[in-house]
Amino acid sequence: MNDRHENLFTQLQAYREDILLVLEGITAGQAEIVPDKFRNNIRWNMGHIYLDQYLWIEALTKEKSPVPEAFRTWFGYGSTPADFTEETPSFDELKDLLRQQPTCLRKAYGHRLEKEYPPTEMGMRTIEQVLIRTIFHEGMHLQAIMDIRKWL
């Protein structure tokens, strides 16, 4: 793996640790609250961050992701906490998934970050490009979590 790829995974890990640090001060009960003027809660944002990276990689590579199909219903674009069921991962389970994901992504895709695929609708052709996009997306949802936390 070259220096650029090492740096990408270092950034992915660091940004994920930022999210986990923000989550440390939040209880499972608080993670369920959808404040007025918000569509989702903290737990939804956590699951969405986790799912998004795999969905974009799947869209690019056309390979089935390791994420259970129900995650799309619970955390996919347009979903809300109203879609949650008793099987939806808990706050703590989602924290664990988020903590493990950078390592899982590195193991699964680190050796083929530059392999080219037919482009996505956004023109991304490599897993490296997808991960850069998802890091930006993750930052948007980190801000959403911090905004929700202000209302708790």
List of domains in the chain: 3-150 (1.20.120.450)
The tokens for 41 are: 């809660």
On the question of pLDDT at 97 being above 90, the answer is yes
Single pTM value for the model: 0.96
Report the alpha-carbon distance of residue 54 to residue 64 in Å, rounded: 9
pLDDT at 115: 97
Tokens 């499972």 locate to 28
pLDDT digits (tens, 9 = 90+) for 120-142: 989 999 999 999 999 999 999 99
Mean pLDDT, the chain, whole residue set: 96
| Percent of the chain whose predicted confidence (pLDDT) is above 90 | 97
pLDDT digits (tens, 9 = 90+) for 77-89: 999 999 999 999 9
3-state secondary structure at position 48: helix
Q: Which residues contact 63 (CB under 8 A, 6 or more apart)?
A: 57
